[in-house]
């Protein structure tokens, strides 16, 4: 059992704090938002993440998970202090470290004994050194700064935290290594190691891992685009490639590009980090360019089919950047909306979770429907931007009767080509043959 403080109760801080409480530690979460702290004390989970609520309630009830706005009392007994603070991207793509360094300075003023201070936020290479320097300016008390990046996927964060593929710990301080090793023992299984390294390597591991996955997806998107030109089927190519264990099946699904709060931000930050050191990450540059084009891939297909789209009406299935989340950050659907409306088209959209968030950002630029069928009424075509389960087995007769003509552009390849052949719809997807209905 350890006493832990987690500073920042965003997505990463909350999952981290709750999961450490679940493994028997005493955790105090600190946030400057008094209103949010009060709500959390009452058991309200401020984010949507499957399975978090059960663990949250249990650990609050059993008094292992507490909340406060006061930094000093929270860290007094804490052996380990996690920094889970926002690092928003600046204009040039670099991560803004002012929250992290501000708290580091505050910690320097109040620590009275050795503390392990852990960077959990995704931060550029060299941040641990900057955090150390900010604390050192304020105190002579010994401390260790550790880089311990998170690899949580939205929608699977609790499972990813409790059953990690690996845990990366960046520190060369022996005392900190022992403490972190003890803390993470409950999460370690055969073949899923705790990997110790220096701080900078740990920081870079996070960016390199996310950028590699983004590259893997982007590579497949380009292969898919080429499949369309030469008449190959990307499903078969993906199957054939993925069966090579060196490649693997995951993250090979082509579509309308990656989005979300992590991949676009981390890929841009790695590019910027390279630039700062006069290093041109040319592969990352290409990934960003290809993804920018891929996000509006359905636009090209729509223009090819219709020519001028001024006055056309489109139904859109999916607004979230991926299924099972209400997150619309860097969602390809929104880029598509932008391009279509710019050309005079109107859009009615449906998403099972993300409509409220979209309304907050683009308001009545588009119309919203209450289910996936209502959205189709009188539309010239259906566009699919997110692969929600509810879209995968629809009533095609209903689709055909509501659309002006039975035309579907699918940016996530949610239908099997053999099945769709029988449905009597025009169907254009990514990297696969376009199905034209028999007349």
Q: Which residues are catalytic?
A: 262
Asked whether the beta carbons of 420 and 427 are under 8 A apart, the reply is: yes
State the Cα–Cα distance between residues 430 and 222, nearest whole angstrom: 10
Is 31 annotated in some ligand binding site? yes
Contacts of 22 (CB under 8 A, 6+ apart): 55, 58, 59, 162
Is 152 annotated in some ligand binding site? yes
Residue 313 C-beta-side C-alpha neighbours within 13 Å: 13
User: Residue 362 — φ and ψ, nearest 5°?
Assistant: -115, 0
Asked whether the beta carbons of 238 and 311 are under 8 A apart, the reply is: no
Q: Is 385 strand, coil or helix? A: coil
Closest to ligand UDX by CB, 59 vs 215, is: 215
Shortest reach from residue 235's CB to ligand UDX, in Å: 13
Asked whether position 260 contacts ligand UDX by CB under 6 A, the answer is yes
Stretch that binds ligand UDX, among 91-99, 112-120, 250-258, 280-288 (CB under 6 A): 250-258
Is 93 annotated in some ligand binding site? no
State the Cα–Cα distance between residues 6 and 29, nearest whole angstrom: 5
State the Cα–Cα distance between residues 9 and 152, nearest whole angstrom: 15
Binding mask 144-183 for ligand UDX (x = CB under 6 A): ------xxxxx-----------------------------
Closest to ligand UDX by CB, 20 vs 258, is: 258
Closest to ligand UDX by CB, 253 vs 388, is: 253
Q: Which residue is nearest to ligand UDX (CB)?
A: 262
Asked whether position 251 contacts ligand UDX by CB under 6 A, the answer is yes
Shortest reach from residue 1's CB to ligand UDX, in Å: 28
Contacts to ligand UDX from residues 62-121, by CB under 6 A: none
State the Cα–Cα distance between residues 13 and 33, nearest whole angstrom: 14
Task: Please identify which residue in 40, 183, 252, 381 interacts with ligand UDX, judged by CB under 6 A.
Answer: 252
Asked whether position 253 contacts ligand UDX by CB under 6 A, the answer is yes
Is 254 annotated in some ligand binding site? yes
Asked whether position 218 contacts ligand UDX by CB under 6 A, the answer is no
Asked whether position 388 contacts ligand UDX by CB under 6 A, the answer is no
Strand runs labelled E in 95-135: 115-119
Asked whether the beta carbons of 134 and 101 are under 8 A apart, the reply is: yes
Closest among 57, 47, 74 to 21, alpha carbons compared: 57
Asked whether position 255 contacts ligand UDX by CB under 6 A, the answer is yes
Closest to ligand UDX by CB, 220 vs 309, is: 220
State the Cα–Cα distance between residues 11 and 120, nearest whole angstrom: 11
Binding mask 310-349 for ligand UDX (x = CB under 6 A): -----------xx---------------------------
Asked whether position 235 contacts ligand UDX by CB under 6 A, the answer is no
Q: What is the DSSP letter of 64?
A: S
Stretch that binds ligand UDX, among 186-194, 238-246, 253-261, 347-355 (CB under 6 A): 253-261
H or E stretch covering 409: strand 407-410
Distances (CA, A) of 195 to 168, 246, 297: 5, 21, 40
User: Residue 322 — φ and ψ, nearest 5°?
Assistant: -155, 170
Closest to ligand UDX by CB, 152 vs 384, is: 152
Is 96 annotated in some ligand binding site? no
Closest among 302, 285, 370 to 339, alpha carbons compared: 302
Asked whether position 263 contacts ligand UDX by CB under 6 A, the answer is yes
Beta-bridged to residue 5, according to DSSP, are 28, 81
Task: Please identify which residue in 5, 14, 75, 217 interacts with ligand UDX, judged by CB under 6 A.
Answer: 217
Residues at the binding site for NAD(+) are 31, 36, 87, 122, 154, 265, 329
Residues at the binding site for substrate are 151-154, 206, 251-255, 259, 322
Residues forming contacts to ligand UDX in the complex (CB under 6 A) are 150-154, 210, 217, 251-253, 255, 258-260, 262-263, 321-322
């Amino acid at each position: 059992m350890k006493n832990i403080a987690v500073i920042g109760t965003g997505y990463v801080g909350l999952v981290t704090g709750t999961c450490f409480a679940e493994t028997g530690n005493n955790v105090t979460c600190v946030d400057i938002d008094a209103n949010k702290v009060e709500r959390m004390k009452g058991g309200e989970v401020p984010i949507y993440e499957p399975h978090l609520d059960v663990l949250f309630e249990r650990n609050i009830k059993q008094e292992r998970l507490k909340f406060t706005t006061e930094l000093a009392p929270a860290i007094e007994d804490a052996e380990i202090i996690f920094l889970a603070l926002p690092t928003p991207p600046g204009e040039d793509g670099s991560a803004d470290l002012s929250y992290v360094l501000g708290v580091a300075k505050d910690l320097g003023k109040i620590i009275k004994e050795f503390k392990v201070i852990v960077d959990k936020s995704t931060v550029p290479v060299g941040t641990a050194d900057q955090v150390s320097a900010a604390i050192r300016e304020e105190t002579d008390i010994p401390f260790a700064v550790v880089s311990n990046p998170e690899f949580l996927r939205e929608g699977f964060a609790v499972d990813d935290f409790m059953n990690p593929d690996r845990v990366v710990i960046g520190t060369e301080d022996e005392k900190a290594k022992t403490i972190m090793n003890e803390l993470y023992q409950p999460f370690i299984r055969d073949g899923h190691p705790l990997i110790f390294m220096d701080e900078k390597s740990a920081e870079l591991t996070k960016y390199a891992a996310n950028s590699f996955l983004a590259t893997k997806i982007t590579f497949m998107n380009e292969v898919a685009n080429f499949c369309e030109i030469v008449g190959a089927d990307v499903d078969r190519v993906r199957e054939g490639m993925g069966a090579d264990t060196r490649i693997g099946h995951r993250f090979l699904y082509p579509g309308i590009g990656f989005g979300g709060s992590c991949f676009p931000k981390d890929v841009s930050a790695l590019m910027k980090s390279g630039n700062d050191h006069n290093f041109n990450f040319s592969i990352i540059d290409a990934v960003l360019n290809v993804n920018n084009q891929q996000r509006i891939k359905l636009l090209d297909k729509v223009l090819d089919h219709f020519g001028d789209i001024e006055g056309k009406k489109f139904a859109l299935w999916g607004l979230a950047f991926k299924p099972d989340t209400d997150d619309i950050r860097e969602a390809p659907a929104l880029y598509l909306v932008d391009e279509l409306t710019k050309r005079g088209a109107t859009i009615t959209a449906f998403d099972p979770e993300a409509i409220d968030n979209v309304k907050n950002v683009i308001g009545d630029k588009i119309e919203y429907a209450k289910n996936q069928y209502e959205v189709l009424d009188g539309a010239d075509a259906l566009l699919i931007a997110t692969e929600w389960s509810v879209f995968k087995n629809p009533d095609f007769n209903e689709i055909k009767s509501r659309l002006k003509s039975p035309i579907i552009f699918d940016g996530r390849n949610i239908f099997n080509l053999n099945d769709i052949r029988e449905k009597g719809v025009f169907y254009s997807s990514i990297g696969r043959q376009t199905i034209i209905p028999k007349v």
